[in-house]
Amino acid sequence: MNSTTTESHCSPNAEFLMVKCRPYYLPRELTSIILTAVYIPPDANARLAMKELSAAINKHQNKHPEAAFIVAGDFNHTNLKTVLPRFHQHVSCHTRGDKTLDHVYSNLAGAYKATPLPHIGQSDHLSLFLTPRYSPLIQRVKPAVWTIKVWPEGTDAVLQDRFKNTDWNMFTHTDLDQYASSVLDYISETTDSVTTQKRITMYPNQKPWMNRDVRLLLKARNTAFRSGDAHAYSTARANLKKSSASRMDVMWKKELQMELKDSVYSFTCVSGDGMWVWSQSIYLMSVFAAGVLGEWFVGKLFC
């Protein structure tokens, strides 16, 4: 298991040590585990102690948004949920007399069940045994089957040619809603005629950047690992890391583009019948922006 000390802190109000680890076997939806051992002195300022601890946790949550965070230790009179309400406290039993001073928090609901055990040595605190209760996402959520549209190579050129030779005057209509609906229906039907559909299975823990190329590189890395060839394994790991980083960059760019495409724009048109405001998502406009359809669509439909 790879582990790294990411942060240590010591002040009159709080002491804690943060360790980031990556076990070999870990549910795919979790990228790593960040453990924080905490001690809050009995005479500490509770507000300042929680402020110092939450600042460190928030910083690492921003850096590792898909990591599992486990915060455990002697909290005395403080409570982490006052500053991090989305964290869950897994200890409900008394740990010293009739008080629960030792807490275990995580950002996973129902992740552990705490069982009290006898004191260790001369400690005046009970020890705790944590039984994992977390169920991987793939066991809790069923896979989804999607139907996607596949664009063969050269489809854009074929569509532009078809739209260039279309008699757009046949869509003339005085009602703007029917006018727009008939044009968009024609675009959709024409697009469907040159594309194909494919059914794919999306698992709940599947990363959006995990495509066929990355899977092949992952398989090559595992094969190289089992072969015992250190050079081949090192090369396969480097290729996988490079491809994954590239895919993630593409994913974020596509996500940004989709947000722009899905934005709804309002256009104001004036005619003899009065003023209309038409709001329509212009998803297909980007495909034909450089072609005849783009020029006609903007000039004809949007006044």
Determine the Cα–Cα distance for residues 223 and 235; give it in Å rounded to an integer.
12
Q: Which helix (H) or strand (E) holds 39?
A: strand 33-39
Is the pTM higher than 0.85? no
pLDDT in tens, 256-283: 566 555 544 433 344 334 333 333 333 3
- Provide the total of helices (H) and of strands (E) in the chain, helices listed first: 7, 12
Query: 38 - beta bridge partners?
Result: 16, 73
Which band of pLDDT confidence, cut at 50, 70 and 90, is reported for residue 169?
confident
Sorting pLDDT into bands at 50, 70 and 90, what band is 251? low
Minimum mean pLDDT range among 129-143, 179-193, 272-286: 272-286
16 bridge partner residues: 9, 38
**Is residue 83 within 8 Å of 51, Cβ to Cβ?**
yes
Q: What is the distance between the alpha carbons of residues 181 and 10, in angstroms, rounded to a whole number?
A: 66
| Total length of the chain | 303
- DSSP annotation of 243: H
Rounded distance, CA 173 to CA 182, Å?
9
Average pLDDT, the chain: 82
Domain positions in the chain: 2-136, 209-256
Decide if 302 contacts 204 (C-beta within 8 A).
Answer: no
Q: Give the separation between CA 131 and CA 112, rounded to whole angstroms.
A: 5
Domain 2-136 has CATH 3.60.10.10: yes
